Amino acid sequence: MQSLRNKRRIEFDSPESRPLIKRNLSLQLQDDSPVMVQPKNLFTYFDESSCDSGFGQTNEEHLSDEENSQINNLLEESFKLELNDSFQSDSVSISSSKDSEIERVLEEPFGERLIGDMSRSHTLPILSKSRHSDLASIEPETLVDLINGKYNDKIGKYLIIDARYPYEFNGGHISQAQNGYFKLDLIEKLFNQPIQSENGKPVVLIFHCEFSIERGPKLMREFRERDRSLNKHNYPNLFYPEIYLLEGGYKQFYELNDEYCEPKAYVPMLQDQHRNDMKFFRKKSKTWELETKRTKCLNKMRLDF
């Protein structure tokens, strides 16, 4: 089954959608003003800045075909309405030179993405290529620089969130990191009293798991989805607009910088002596996921009616 996120990207960058984008851009040129919306901003709308983007994607393995179909139909209809509302406008007559300028913007390669509230670029240098192209990823050395104070003039506070199971976290984690396995408690804590810096500088969050392939990215997407939902009437504002994924996870960070870990050790998820622990925590996680997905589906169905 083609993922909804990929399907949206195809639809957004299709021949049918380009006239809509072009018409939206033309509004900015009617007063001889320069084109302010760059391609990166356009596509950010359907990237991490979207309440209904890939950050809200569902893992379909625990739902029936009928349940998955209901979820996809609801999200698909929401996406179509969102696209129409965003780009529907009166046609504006523009000169050939302005027309060429619009085509130039559309043909430019995508630039650096903006943070979640689309107010500026990322403070930390993000990787141009990573395992999760929809997430802003940083390399281990960037996190070391952050810990050592290299970005103190730009960043007020930071929080490292470790999505691994408790026995992995207790066996060794990055100094000052918080365990995010009990994600409901963590999310409630962070959103009931959002972190703020005394000097008004940005607050950044860094997510990771063992390899930053599954659990870390998943928690990062769920966190953004909650933030977007809480701010749905104040779009595109967010409590935490600047969030990152640690590329390579704890394993790579530990191998390169074990002096920043406590205790100075690394416990793999699949370690034999913790096999029963792994089964317990994995089963618990799957139960939480299933309950959350069913609740989301029911809520969307109620709103639809």
In 91-155, DSSP assigns E strands to 137-138
Contact criterion met (CB below 8 Å) for 217 and 135: yes
Cβ-based neighbours of 6, under 8 Å, separated by 6 or more = none
Instruction: Report domain extents, the chain.
Output: 4-107, 137-269
For every residue of 143-178, DSSP letters joined together read: HHHHHTTTTTTT-SEEEEEE-S-HHHHHT-EETT-E
Pick the CATH number of 137-269 from 3.30.420.40, 3.40.250.10, 3.30.1280.10, 3.40.50.2000: 3.40.250.10
How many C-alpha atoms does 295 have within 13 Å on its Cβ side?
6
Catalytic residues: 209
Whether 216 and 245 have beta carbons less than 8 Å apart is answered as: yes
Q: What residues contact 49, with CB distance under 8 A and at least 6 apart?
A: 114, 116, 117, 118, 236
pLDDT of residue 285: 83
Q: How long is the chain?
A: 305
Peptide bond into 15 cis (omega under 30): no
Q: Tens-digit pLDDT profile for the chain (305 aa)? A: 444 444 444 444 455 555 555 555 454 445 444 444 444 444 333 344 333 333 444 343 455 666 666 666 665 665 555 445 544 444 443 344 445 444 443 344 445 689 999 999 999 999 999 999 999 999 999 999 999 999 999 999 999 999 999 999 999 999 999 999 999 899 999 999 999 998 999 999 999 999 999 999 999 999 999 999 999 999 999 999 999 999 999 999 999 999 999 999 999 999 999 999 999 999 988 876 776 667 667 666 666 65
Distance between CA 12 and CA 85 in Å, rounded? 14
CA distances from 208 to 41, 213, 221, 244 (A): 26, 9, 12, 9
Q: What is the pLDDT at residue 238?
A: 98
* Cβ-contact 165, 204 below 8 angstroms: no
